[in-house]
Structure 1
Amino acid sequence: MMPLLRHQPPRTRFMSASDTSSHQQPPRFVDIGANLLDDRYIKGIYRGTFRHEPDLDLVIERSIAAGVQHLLLTAGTIAESRAAVRAVREWRTRYPQMTVGCTVGVHPTRCQQVFVDTNVPAENLLQELLEIAQDGMKDQSVLAIGEIGLDYERLEFCPKEIQQQFLIQQLQHVAKPTGLPLFLHNRNVGTDLYDILQQNKDCWTRHKGVVHSFDDTLDIAELFLSDFYIGLNGCSLRTEESLKVVQALPLDRILLETDCPYCEVRAAHPGYAYIQTHFEAKAEKKFERGKCVKSRQEPCHIIQVAEVIAGVKQIPLLEVSEACFHNSIACFFSNE
């Protein structure tokens, strides 16, 4: 692997909701992972405390101004899946400048809560998920099954055996009958996710899905590359080792995401020096309409992820944005 190169810190520019003139050909983006139903956007609540009026409308307006043309709204429970489908249908009318879709599925850390800690038989809940997905497929509101996968960093929420069981169940009873792409969670699990996917290859279609928020080794990435895209966000860019993985990934297998409101590219991160575009922000307690909230990511911040990748790979931003745009369309927004 070639050594990681360093640029001199680039010129900083600030983007506002009306700023579309910074590039002769503005970059365009698909945010393939946005948790926009989070209370921070729809209620102005942070860690159980109300801080400001809801500002989801402003968040989406900033995203559109920053070049986000397509967005995948992510869900992690059955209730969130239903809410995501409703939101997509509403937003399509309200924000015609952006193409929106969503995922349907149960996150690995929520499998105990959803499938075990209720009095409802698991087969009934899986059938409910399937029906939500099939209903959303009628108007292309639902574009992927997810967020499903494995997470061994947070076993206090769900034991690995339960995660594995209901990953397989969702593959067999939701992903397989729908044929939709997979939106996969992979956190500190070695090859377990890869192995389960290989054992259930009849449940998914090659090159139709993403291992999102990737922060593992290059060896693990290379296992997935022949069948899936790799999703990169701020959590994928936190260390020098992570940047070396990004440098080695082929551009035609990368998708961009924010995983907002999480995964900020922080000033302490090694890739931060590559960021050229900044957004005015206030602390949540000092909220000001028209400005971002500090440390709360939004889809507009996807340009920062692209800038870090461009810097690490020593290629133009537009090359990154266009390649990842087309990759994302091929994965989620194309009927081919």
Structure 2
Amino acid sequence: MADSFDDFLPEALRFRSPAPLIDIGANLTHESFNRDLEAVLQRARAANVTKLIVTGTDLEHAEQAVELARRYPGLYATAGVHPHDASHWNASMARDMAALHKEPEVVAVGECGLDFNRNFSSPQAQERAFEAQLGLAAESGLPLFLHERDAGKRMQQMLHAWRDDISQAVVHCFTADRATLYGYLDLDLHIGLTGWLCDERRGHHLRELVGAIPLERLMLETDCPYLLPRNLPAKLKGRRHEPALLPWIGREIAHWHGIGEARLAEATTATATAFFRLPHTDSEGLQHG
């Protein structure tokens, strides 16, 4: 039986942002959301997370993301092929992706990029698929939703070659070092931060970098169901991350940025609204079920 809207999150994890938030990276097509998606969206709304960008990481999940965006007001989709799946890229997929990019629910090309950490697809296959998707972004005029791991130098080289042809790009779930961050900012890119910053084992270095990211370049995301913050004040059964916990990430980032929660929420929401060209009115946000 699915958990109800009210009883899934412990009281200590029922956060509410002082200003509306946008989660720019929610993997809501993941099977863990199949049983209670409407309750997940209700909890997000209760937390004042008013819009969600549903990540499409391959053709199947991009199509599912578009369907969710059609069904639920306040949801939008990205459409791309993750570097892990780059070996599957072919001409047919390129045509299908180009068609998806014409759908009004799709607000970015991606998730695409380079991942030389795990190399589930070869670096050569990753670069080929990424180059093709840079071309699709230039053709469609849509912004890019980027993934990069241990490939900052090569990513910057490829983006530099295309920078005059693409509109905007966000490096989602940024986890790299200061030099890589500055390289992306020099390319006039946006940066997405997640609960990785809340991980004292792996994300501690990000706390010193937060203040270097201008607010007009910064956006927030959960990357749910992954990257559950490790420093939450209570245990979460199942350990599945969800958008309702985004205010906790915002609180942490605001602290390390040296500003108030409300200011961070207002700034990052304004940045995401402009970047993804979303409606400005809250009437276009998540609705109560």
TM range (shorter): 0.7 to 0.9
Contact 1:144 1:180 in 2 (8 A): yes
Match of residue 161 from structure 1:
124
Displacement of 1:225 in angstroms is 1.5
Q: Distance in 2 between matches of 1:280 and 1:303?
A: 16
Identical-pair percentage? 30
Show the counterpart of 1:306.
250
Q: List runs of 5+ in structure 1 lacking aligned partners.
A: 1-12, 43-53, 93-98, 116-121, 273-277, 285-294
SS of aligned partner of 1:129: helix
Asked if 1:230 is matched to 2:197, the reply is no
Alpha carbons of 1:252 and 1:201: their partners in 2 closer, same or farther (altered >3 Å)?
Answer: closer
Contact kept in structure 1, 2:115 and 2:151, CA below 8 Å: yes
> How do residues 69-88 of structure 1 correspond to structure 2 at under 5 angstroms?
69-88=50-69
SS of aligned partner of 2:121? coil
Change (3 A) 1:158 1:179: same
C-alpha distance in 2, partners of 1:64/1:251? 23
Report the secondary structure of 1:214's partner residue: coil
Query: Matched residues in 2 for 1:196 and 1:55: separation?
Result: 40
Rg larger for: 1
In the other structure, the counterpart of 2:170 is 210
CA distances 1:132-190 after superposition (whole Å, capped 9, x unpaired): 211x1xxx3000000000011111x1111110111001111x21211001000011113
- Where 1:191 maps in the other structure, the secondary structure is helix
Name the aligned partner's letter for residue 73 of structure 1. Answer: V
**1:242-321 superposed matches below 5 A:** 242-267=206-231, 281=236, 283-284=237-238, 295-321=239-265
Aligned residue identity for 2:56: A
TM-score (normalizing by structure 2): 0.86
Query: 2:42 is matched with which residue?
Result: 61
Partner deviation per Cα, 1:20-44 (whole Å, 9 max, x = no partner): 6xx7xx32100000001101111xx
Contact 1:14 1:280 in 2 (8 A): no
Q: CA RMSD, aligned part only?
A: 2.1
- Superposition deviation, residue 263 in structure 1: 1.1
Aligned 1:100-139 pairs, distance under 5 A:
100-112=75-87, 114-115=88-89, 122-134=90-102, 136=103
1:241 paired residue number = 205
SS of the counterpart of 1:14? helix
Aligned partner of 1:219 among 179, 185, 199: 179
Q: Distance in 1 between matches of 2:50 and 2:192?
A: 17
> How many Å separate the matches in 1 of 2:38 and 2:92?
35
Question: In structure 1, what is the equivalent of residue 20 of structure 2?
Answer: 28
In structure 1, the residue corresponding to 2:101 is in which secondary structure? helix
Query: What does 1:180-199 align with in structure 2 at a 5 Å threshold?
Result: 180-199=142-161
Report the Cα offset of residue 201 of structure 1. 2.4
The residue type equivalent to 1:248 in the other structure is: A
- Where does residue 110 of structure 2 map in the other structure? 146
